[in-house]
Copies of this chain bind each other. A is one copy, B any other.
């Protein structure tokens, strides 16, 4: 079982704080956005005599209202298609356990969410990475490459859209290529859409919209980011495939019930007007613009403009972002401050990749982001391991050859 790849930096951050240094956390996915008060109130004003188990698949009332939320997005989802889970995390685990047998393989474009390898270990399955490249803004890897990765043990493709860590939002053309691939080889498409609401150019396309694929798609969802309610631990596994829904329900029965208090919260959240997202989206968009502008102004930094989620992946002119990230915490300070970043190697399964990349989250407000960018600017000027960035296009061509 692997350690979380980011855990080893935590002691350095703690030590820095003990020395009085202010650490700006651009490494985490915990937004500072307020959880909607009406949603918190639904939990806090509920009349609860006995805090009972809910049904294993979640309360019917919540499943129905959540189906309504999907329907308002134009997705053909009914309550019967929805299984409520303890966070998107449990939906990932149940999806892997339900779609794959031990020893089977799942293809995932890398860089990918840092916890996927742990879920794969827990489910006894193998991740086969196919690399996307900063030189192509982390677009979907060529489908021909994904097809070459298919073996008799391949049972599924897992995508995250909008993507964590890259912020890339897959186009309809890309998704239809993935669909055709899944149909050609009879693979499940596990689609992690935790960041659905945060797509800045156009609405993100759900895998459930892909014509002819409804028996192959397993949607993995969570309210964590959507309503800034990460601590609720409330997610969902959505599929039109009845046989698969039955298997997933068996895993749900195993743990009896998803969290009951969180379901009250989730149910209330479905009543929020669509306009609720306008405010949060505008806030994230302005933060993204600030972060990208500041990053691009730093000599040697390469950074695509992410069109979704709340992360930026940047290539930094350093020898190794893991070494640099530690140096930021141990050695560097500017006006008593420093920043914490996520070295990208932890998002790649292929050894050696991502050494000049890092993920920066814009879940903190503009003031914090500005200060963090000033720190980064100075740090890159001072850092002894400074090294010209490999040309992304060249890197892509090399890796893709």
Contact = CB atoms under 8 A, between A and B. Distances in A.
B48 A35 contact: yes
Chain A interface residue count: which class?
35 or more
A229 B259 CA distance: 11
B50 A34 contact: yes
Interface string A239-261: 00000000100110111111111
A115 B51 contact: no
A50 B228 contact: yes
Main secondary structure, interface of A, reads loop
A233 B258 CA distance: 7
A390 interface: no
Nearest to A118: B254
A124 interface: yes
A44 B261 CA distance: 10
A256 B1 contact: no
A40 B33 contact: no
A247 B1 contact: yes
Given A260-B231, A261-B262, A255 B90 contact: yes
B233 A260 contact: yes
Nearest to A48: B40
Interface string A153-174: 0000000000000000000000
Given A51-B231, A229-B51, A231-B53, A43 B44 contact: yes
A353 interface: no
Contacts of A44: 43-46
A122 B52 contact: no
A284 to B, nearest CB: 15
Nearest to A254: B118
B230 A51 contact: yes
Contacts of A124: 102, 124
A238 B46 CA distance: 32
Contact of A254 (B86, B119, B255): B119
A59 to B, nearest CB: 10
A54 interface: yes
A87 B124 CA distance: 23
A304 interface: no
Contacts of A366: none
Contacts of A30: 50, 52-53
Contacts of A32: 50
A4 interface: yes
B256 A259 contact: no
A6 to B, nearest CB: 9
A82 interface: no
Closest 7 pairs (CB-CB, A-B): A231-B260, A118-B254, A89-B255, A51-B231, A4-B253, A261-B261, A53-B230
27 contacts: A1-B98, A1-B250, A3-B253, A4-B254, A30-B50, A31-B50, A32-B50, A35-B49, A35-B50, A35-B51, A43-B43, A51-B228, A51-B230, A51-B232, A53-B230, A54-B231, A86-B255, A87-B255, A87-B257, A97-B122, A102-B124, A118-B251, A122-B251, A230-B256, A230-B260, A233-B260, A259-B261
